[in-house]
Structure 1
Amino acid sequence: MAGPPPKPWPTGQAMQLEPLVRRVLAPNPSPYTYTGTQSYIVGLGDGCAVIDPGPDDPVHLLALDAAIGEEHVCAIMCTHTHRDHSPAAKTLAARTGAPIVGCAPLVLDDSGPRADAAFDRTYEPDRVMENGEAMTGPGWTLTAVATPGHVSNHLCFALEESGALFTGDHIMGWSTSVVIPPDGDMGDYMQSLEKLYAREDRVYYPAHGEAVDKPRQLVRGMIGHRRQRESQIVRHLGEGPHTSADFVPKMYKGLDPKLHKAAEMSVTAHLIDLERRGLVARSGDIWQTI
């Protein structure tokens, strides 16, 4: 994982990325959000969509208001329902009258602390988009691309007019995405990566980190990285039974201790996928090869 760039960060500023796309950075930096969540505004001035409005933070909402100005908001679109992505949707919808569209609602009760943002219990979409369905506005079309894995309800949005793909947390511009069971699924995540690799998007705009201008190259590297992690797990299990936590110091040397839980959960997601494929077995918290 790369560290954040030096401050100052462009928090609250509307950054024009291309004619149809503006970006506003929320003030919620953390070890899991990098410099913060990036909300995107798609439109030329006659009507726009807001993608991943972010946390329900008054300062961020004021920055979005300033970026939108007098423009009509046609839709508020959410890639998934973690609390750093969707909570501002309800407040923004009340202010603008725009419908909330995109991912399905999803709330899980966790038995322990999460390594990423918890789920947004306030999210109530007016329309759930299925894979291939489109939302249109003046001069723009956003098509849903289902990418489960990080969470089961994750969507990306393809801007058909420019070849851009808004990737939420499925692909980030600074780190690989965390996959946390029970809802995060490594098998689904790998299939979603393969799905994007088969596409020909020009650029990725992630919710965290900079734009990705060589998308297929990055996706190919991410697939290779995950396969390498899987091979490491199998190799270490060849030395004897392990708990998920046992893998972290062996596989993630020098990792910030704040991220150890995320690494452990990622290992667990790999182990569950290997178990489904009949390659490993578990007894309680102990994993071993078959």
Structure 2
Amino acid sequence: MALVLQEEDAMFTGDNVLGHGTAVFEDLSTYMASLQRMHEHFSGRAYPGHGEVIDDGRQRIIEYIEHRHQREREVLHVLTEARQSSSLQKEDVSQGGRTPMEMVKIIYNDVPETLHEPAARGVEQVLHKLAEEGKVVRSEDGPTWLMAGTSSSGM
């Protein structure tokens, strides 16, 4: 939930946009839609539920949206490379996928291993959003994810 204070053209962003740290959410598609709606309703300060007041709240929301889009691009890139590598090596196309933890080790290679589990949960949220959009699929036989259209994807 977010509330607009019209007199100041400001927004109370609650836990959606924070003054520090990363927002926690259950569904990335819903969260992204919420950020987009928030972006459209004000242009001033943001008063987060945690952290410092954000002078340019609208810009911070844009940064949040772009950060999530960047993660999506990274996941798609890892899966595209996995598919291409599998194809070049003449392997079964089903080998062209990755588990969320394998993706974390590539995307977050500069992050301490102690943070890989939470990062894997974030990657899973990205994967579920991309699956809703028809871009990726979970393999029939387990935790591996593949680009949509790959033969073992059940499509």
Read off the aligned partner of 2:12 and give its amino acid letter. Answer: F
Q: Secondary structure at the match of 1:261?
A: helix
Read off the aligned partner of 1:214 and give its amino acid letter. Answer: D
CA distance in 1, matches of 2:113, 2:3: 33
Percent identical across equivalent pairs? Answer: 35
CA distance in 2, matches of 1:242, 1:275: 14
Can you list the C-alpha shifts for 1:226-250, whole angstroms capped at 9, x where unaligned? Answer: 1111111011011131111111122
Q: State TM-score, norm by structure 2.
A: 0.76
Of 105, 118, 121, the residue aligned with 1:249 is: 105
- Please tell me whether the aligned partners of residues 279 and 289 of structure 1 are also in contact (alpha carbons under 8 angstroms): yes
1:256 deviates by 4.1
Can you list the C-alpha shifts for 1:46-105, whole angstroms capped at 9, x where unaligned? Answer: xxxxxxxxxxxxxxxxxxxxxxxxxxxxxxxxxxxxxxxxxxxxxxxxxxxxxxxxxxxx
Unaligned runs of 5+ in 2: 83-95, 149-155
- In the other structure, the counterpart of 2:135 is 279
- In the other structure, the counterpart of 2:44 is 202
Residue 172, structure 1, aligned to residue 18, structure 2 = yes
- In the other structure, the counterpart of 1:216 is 58
Of 127, 142, 162, the residue aligned with 2:8 is: 162
Moved over 4 A (4+): none
- Please tell me whether the aligned partners of residues 19 and 54 of structure 2 are also in contact (alpha carbons under 8 angstroms): yes
Q: Secondary structure at the match of 1:158?
A: strand
Can you list the C-alpha shifts for 1:104-135, whole angstroms capped at 9, x where unaligned? Answer: xxxxxxxxxxxxxxxxxxxxxxxxxxxxxxxx
CA distance in 2, matches of 1:159, 1:258: 40
Aligned residues: 132
Structure possessing the higher radius of gyration over alpha carbons: 1
CA distance in 1, matches of 2:62, 2:21: 14
- In the other structure, the counterpart of 1:237 is 79
Q: Larger % of strand: which?
A: 1
Matches for 1:15-30 after TM superposition, within 5 Å: none
Unaligned runs of 5+ in 1: 1-154
RMSD between aligned alpha carbons?
1.7
Q: Secondary structure at the match of 1:269?
A: helix
Q: Secondary structure at the match of 1:281?
A: strand
- In the other structure, the counterpart of 1:139 is none
Matches for 1:118-157 after TM superposition, within 5 Å: 155-157=1-3
